[in-house]
Chain A
Amino acid sequence: MQRFSGLSLLRRGLAGQRGWQPQWRHADPKPSYDALIIGGGGHGLGTAYYLASEHRLTNVAVLEKGWIGGGNTGRNTTIIRSNYLFPESAALYDHALKLWESLSQALNYNVMFSQRGVLMLAHTVHDVQVAKRHVHANRAAGVDNEWLTPREARAFCPLLNIGDIRYPVLGAALQRRGGTARHDAVAWGYARAADALGVDIIENCEVTGIRRNADGAVEAAETTRGTIRAPRIGVAAAGNTSVILKMADVELPLESYPLQALVSEPVKPVFPCVVMSNTIHAYISQSDKGELVIGAGTDAYTSYTQRGGPHITSHALEAICELFPMFRRMRMLRCWGGIVDVTPDRSPIIGRTGVPGLYVNCGWGTGGFKATPGSAHVFAWTIARDEPHPLNAAFTLERFRDGNLIDEAAAAAVAH
């Protein structure tokens, strides 16, 4: 792997940018591996990277049916935060946030992580109570979060309209360590680093079956590029996880919904932070390219189409125009959908499946990007040791049977 440094950039620049090598090999599948990861998004590529870098498991392949980072990793709004209510969630997401803080250095790849602060608005008395409860719970758990008055919120985000609006801003919770990262760079950075450690990244390879031996344990994945044997298979397939797990007769409490986002034409830097409002449903930040990146809600119905209805995106834009009147004349360039796998309690499932050798990392719903490094890190541990990392021990499949929900859905009282 060619390492990036200021010196190497300068040298190649002066040489006319010639001599750069591809960032990862285009591997063809071998007949067998020690472990397979199904799903070449951030979570799957990260899992392969941590298997190789922390657990010395380098005979690993990542199988991706399209191109890496072409699913939800390339479709999200890149927001990173860890201010979840329950101790299990806050610990898992803050583990991810701590890994984000040194990820560019670890991967030798600039993921453009920017801790510009995430402001979550409160518009009703109930919002204020819920947000303050989150602030106190987070601070007690060692996760930064602070309460701002409406004026303080406007001082932090000067474009914010706090008064002349149908649902006035009554305050906001601010996580200063939160922010954004370049989502494509996360996939590419993990792919490059995993490839350098020997991991095969196999694109255009769709899994069509999971073969099990007489004991019921997994032994191979049937794919569009042939049968690939492996004693361990980890699935990180987001919205298509139900489909993959059904191949091994495992049923999951998941439903797949379209989640839409859109970007505006690029403009000069105007927006200093991330603002989200669960109540009137809008998420907004500005990318380094200058586009406003806007997140809308999920469509009402389950679907695998990676698109959704325009009434969902226009609803989000109505909220944006109320909160930031200066954006009313902005033109939107593109919108798209991703398929998100939602659990009943809006918390992920990371762990064993009941089928020996088969592991699943799913149910990240509408908020998986922020967790990418932490999710990948604990999932690699789970696959390598056949037991959960302490941080994902509570995120089992069995919690739905046993009633041990981690009910972030109820905690936020809205889709999130």
Chain B
Amino acid sequence: MLLIECPYCGERPEPEFVYGGQAHVARPRMPAEVSAEEWARYLYLRDNARGVHAERWRHTHGCGRFFNALRDTTSDQFLATYKVGEAPPATAQVSR
């Protein structure tokens, strides 16, 4: 079970959270104007990174807020959590 640091509430156990998939996936501003390839990319293509992954979590059974996290998918270790709207911290600066 993961121990996740909510940027608002601190460390809490995983069952308090809901996973929200890859972070920083921007919806095309004009969906009607993008090609089928671009729309499929937005809907379906994800990095599925083996390594550092930027992802969304929601502290559903806590403050209820969304936030982002960097996690290493080869160890499940969290490298950082940060608020929505903030840029992901450079992974090199995060102590492991």
Contacts and interface: CB of A to CB of B under 8 A. Distances in A.
Interface of A: 240, 242-243, 251-256, 300-305, 309-311, 344, 400-402
Given A311-B14, A344-B44, A401 B37 contact: yes
A252 B48 CA distance: 9
A254 B50 CA distance: 12
6 contacts: A253-B45, A254-B48, A255-B46, A302-B55, A304-B74, A309-B14
Given A255-B21, A401-B40, 8 more contacts: A240-B50, A254-B48, A255-B48, A300-B17, A300-B18, A301-B2, A303-B76, A309-B14
A239 B46 CA distance: 14
Contacts of B21: 255
Interface string B59-79: 000000000000101111000
B28 interface: no
A208 B73 CA distance: 18
Interface in B37-56: 37, 40-41, 43-46, 48, 50, 53, 55
A305 B1 CA distance: 13
Interface size class of B (residues with CB under 8 A): 20 to 34
Contacts of B17: 300
B2 A304 contact: no
7 nearest interchain CB pairs? A253-B44, A300-B19, A242-B48, A309-B1, A401-B40, A301-B19, A400-B44
B61 to A, nearest CB: 13
B36 interface: yes
Contacts of B48: 242, 252, 254-256, 302
A311 B73 CA distance: 19
Interface of B: 1-2, 14-15, 17-19, 21, 36-37, 40-41, 43-46, 48, 50, 53, 55, 71, 73-76
B74 A402 contact: no
Contacts of B37: 401
Nearest to B4: A301
A253 B48 CA distance: 9
A256 B21 CA distance: 11
Nearest to A254: B48
A304 B53 CA distance: 11
A308 to B, nearest CB: 9
By CB atoms of chain A within 10 A, which of B40, B41, B43 has the most?
B40
Nearest to B77: A305
A301 B45 contact: no
A367 to B, nearest CB: 19
A304 B73 contact: yes
B45 A303 contact: no
Given A242-B48, A300-B19, A302-B55, A309 B43 contact: no
Given A254-B48, A255-B46, A310 B1 contact: yes
B73 A303 contact: yes
B76 A305 contact: yes
B15 A311 contact: yes
Contacts of B40: 253, 400-401
Contacts of B14: 300, 309, 311
A305 B44 CA distance: 23
B43 A302 contact: no
Contact of B75 (A251, A302, A305, A344): A305
